Amino acid sequence: MSAPSGSGKTTLARYLISVQKLNFKFSVSATTRKKRDHEINGKDYFFFSTEEFKNSIENQDFIEYEKVYENMYYGTLKSELNNLIVNHNIVFDVDVLGAISLKNYFKSLAISIFIKPPSIDVLEKRLIDRKKNDPSEIKERVRKAEIEMKKEADFDTVIINENLDVAKQELIYKVENFLKWKLAYSLDKSIFFVILEYLKFASRKIYLSGTFLINKF
C-alpha cells in the first residue's frame, strides 16, 4: 500500500490490520527520518542513523530501499519479512517507488494499492492541518506528491481517499477479493502438484509391474 505523504495510507493500513479475520500484520519499515514523540522504535519504524542505513544497504539487508528525500531513506528489511511471512498476511506501508519494487519482487502474490488524495490542494491542506511539518517540508512533500501521483497506473488498483469511511470499505472489499483469488490460485497449484506427482508415481508402477495399483489413503 502506498500513497503521497498525507493521503491517509497509514490510517488505512492500521484499519486493515484491525480486521482480525484477515490476519494481517504490519511490516515495520526502517528509516533515517527523525523519530516523532509518539513513535516507538520497532513498532512504528526501525529508526536508523544514515550511517547505519548505508551499512545495511552494503550488507544487503533490504528487500527494497529508497532515498525519499535528501538524507532520508526508507527500506523493507528481509529479517522483518522472514519473521512475519510464515503465519500472516503482510501490509507494507511504503513510498511509491518502494511499493513498485515490492510488487516486482512478489509479482502475483501481492496486490499493490495506491491511496490517492482527491486533489493536490486537499493534500496540501491535510499536511498543514496535521501540524507535523514546517512550511519548507510541506512544500517539498507537495512537490513530490505531484510526481508520485503520475505513478498510479503502475499499481493494481487505486482508492481515492476523499471520505475515510468509504475508503475503508473499498479497501476491505478489494483486499478480500484478492485473498480469495490468491487462495483459489494456491489450491489449484497444489492440486496440480499432487496430481502430477501421483501420475509420476503411477507411471513408475506401470513400468515396473505392467498393472495399475489402487492405493488406500
Q: Where are the domains of the chain?
A: 9-209
| pLDDT (tens place) for every residue of the chain, 217 residues total | 787 777 888 889 999 999 999 999 989 999 999 998 889 999 999 999 999 999 999 999 999 999 888 889 999 999 998 888 878 899 988 888 889 999 998 888 899 999 999 999 998 998 898 888 788 888 988 998 999 999 999 999 999 999 999 999 999 999 999 988 877 766 554 444 444 444 444 443 333 333 333 333 3
The pTM of this model reads 0.74
Query: From residue 164, how far is each of 21, 52, 105, 115, 139 by CA, in Å?
Result: 21, 37, 30, 11, 24
9-209 is a CATH 3.40.50.300 domain: yes
CA–CA dist 197, 192 (Å, integer): 9
pLDDT at 192: 42
